Amino acid sequence: MSAQPGEGTDIPAEIDVHTTAGKLADLERRLDEAVHAGSAKAVEKQHAKGRKTARERIELLFDEGSFVELDELARHRSTAFGLEKNRPYGDGVVTGYGTIDGRQVCVFSQDFTVFGGSLGEVYGEKITKVMDLAIKTGCPIIGINEGAGARIQEGVVSLGLYGEIFRRNVHASGVIPQISMIMGSCAGGHVYSPAVTDFTVMVDGTSNMFITGPDVIKTVTGEDVSMEDLGGARTHNTKSGNAHYMGSDEEDAIEYVKALLSYLPQNNLDEAPTYDEVADTDFSDLDRTLDTIIPDSPNQPYDMHDVIKAVVDDEEFLEVQELFAPNIVVGFGRVEGHPVGVVANQPMQFAGTLDIDASEKAARFVRFCDAFNIPVLTFVDVPGFLPGTDQEWNGIIRRGAKLIYAYAEATVPLVTIITRKAYGGAYDVMGSKHLGADINLAWPTAQIAVMGAQGAANIVHRKTLKKVEEEGGDVEAKRAELIDDYETTLANPYIAAERGYVDAVISPHETRVEIVRALRLLRSKRETLPAKKHGNIPL
């Protein structure tokens, strides 16, 4: 009788391991056990929840037939609490490498059908081994996460392996792209590795992550919260900002990861994938739509997505963190077949103001692009920082400064286009010439000033307005006159152009062609910052 999955090393009587044929048959038996390490009931339960198994996810992610598994026959060595009676091959995680769209990628996929995906010694060793391989060979690593935290029966060794994984995440940061997929429930130590990686993708309705679960929270604080509200995909995509995309299902999440990889280099020393696509420098009908996109009223919004799509190749733009801090837009596109990162204020949300969440979202994205040599395009329409006690008390001074830090330390090509408002400190922060941007352009609709006309008129001409009021004059008419004077004198792009703060004032329809020309020039950019161990970003 054959051994059940994970029961031990008993060899069926019909297999004679003293012969070559027997040895081959024994290998096939072991490999079959490894593939079916989880029981049929556990797999059925997984499917009933709308989730795929670890191996099914790998099959969807990688090019057909390209996946090579590593450590398929690894098993735990623990004897505590009767674990020696249950030693499944693989120990609850599938690791290996293969190709995605022909490019080498390493992966680990946690198997919830074995020990609930909990991390033990061998499980952790398998992950650290494939991470080391990814770093050594300079290829991206994808972690497909679904697990219940540390394997309690194995004690402190589980915690030790978590630490080993975290350290490798940090060492790999900025060296190879790291992508995390949260495909089920992840708790405790399982959530910290994704937090250190570059992108985290979740699935609506079936994935969640948290440090402490609803039961513990209720016991300790008395607070009643559902698993979905506490750590579901929607929560982390809209409230915490811990996730960068919410897939409608697992297939959608996997397709997003494939699309994301297509914009990223293998490592920090390689170029991102490019396509031979010479831009047409004749102006198209789409280019000319930009001439009418800015409303006459400075308080009327427009959708910055329309500007972005008019500039990138084939109107294709892959947004990152679309549901979090929607007052700023970040994502990837291509210009002449070369990947670019895009950062843009969104007038449709909070008038495009910068708040804590928007500042941190953009800062993280700019730093990622800089780490992997991806040029950054910045589209500016920002009336300032969001006012309010919540913002001040929660640290907008320190946290907003992260965006200053990100732009100022970036050495990749930086091209900035001011479409409308660029007021106060927010003008400086959004990829200004003063922070090191290479090419800065402005539309004639740009208003580059210390503040908006209405606020400026009220402050600068306070005494004049008071005098008009005291004399019984028409205060509103005088204010309108002063606002008009301010707009004519200062709220325009020409003062900045006189001082070289913008390199050119261009018609909106020229934007795509000017960006193409700027990026062609900047492909040979070389800039080195002062030598140091590392800076002290205002965390």
Q: Is 148 annotated as catalytic?
A: no
Can you read off the two tokens belonging to residue 277?
Answer: 């696509």
Catalytic residue among 90, 96, 143, 189: 189
Q: Which residue has the tokens 């989730």?
A: 51
Q: Is 337 annotated as catalytic?
A: no
Give residues with Cβ within 8 angstroms of 528, minimum separation 6: 411
Catalytic residue among 138, 425, 436, 455: 425
Give residues with Cβ within 8 angstroms of 510, minimum separation 6: 283, 287
Strand partners, 418: 380, 442
Residue 323 identity (one-letter amino acid): L
Q: Which residue has the tokens 């409308």?
A: 420
Q: How many CB atoms lie within 10 A of CB 72?
A: 18
Burial of 66 (0-12, 13-18, 19+ CB in 10 A): middle
Cα 106 vs. chain centroid, distance in angstroms?
A: 19
Quote the DSSP letter at residue 240: I
Reduced to 3 states (helix: H, G, I; strand: E, B; else coil), residue 159 is helix
Instruction: Round to whole Å and give the CA distance between 193 and 146.
Output: 12
Reduced to 3 states (helix: H, G, I; strand: E, B; else coil), residue 414 is strand
Closest residue by Cα to residue 318 from 341, 289, 352, 346 = 341
Instruction: Round to whole Å and give the CA distance between 345 and 305.
Output: 10
Quote the DSSP letter at residue 92: T
Q: What is the DSSP string of 41-62?
A: HHHHHHHHTT---HHHHHHHHS
Q: How many CB atoms lie within 10 A of CB 480?
A: 13
Q: Is 189 annotated as catalytic?
A: yes
Reduced to 3 states (helix: H, G, I; strand: E, B; else coil), residue 108 is strand
Q: Which residue has the tokens 């995605």?
A: 100
Catalytic residue among 96, 124, 188, 431: 188
Residue 304 identity (one-letter amino acid): M
Give residues with Cβ within 8 angstroms of 413, minimum separation 6: 375, 376, 438, 518, 519, 522, 523, 525
Q: Is 325 annotated as catalytic?
A: no
444-447-448 Cα angle (round to 5): 115
Catalytic residue among 233, 410, 426, 442: 426
Q: Which residue has the tokens 């020409």?
A: 494
**Backbone CA torsion sign across 388, 390, 391, 393:** positive
Cα 317 vs. chain centroid, distance in angstroms?
A: 14
Residue pair 337/274 in contact by the 8 Å Cβ criterion: yes
Instruction: Round to whole Å and give the CA distance between 375 and 20.
Output: 58
Give, in order, the Cα–Cα distances in Å from 441 to each of 48, 91, 415, 471: 54, 56, 8, 45
Name the residues annotated as catalytic. Answer: 188-189, 425-426
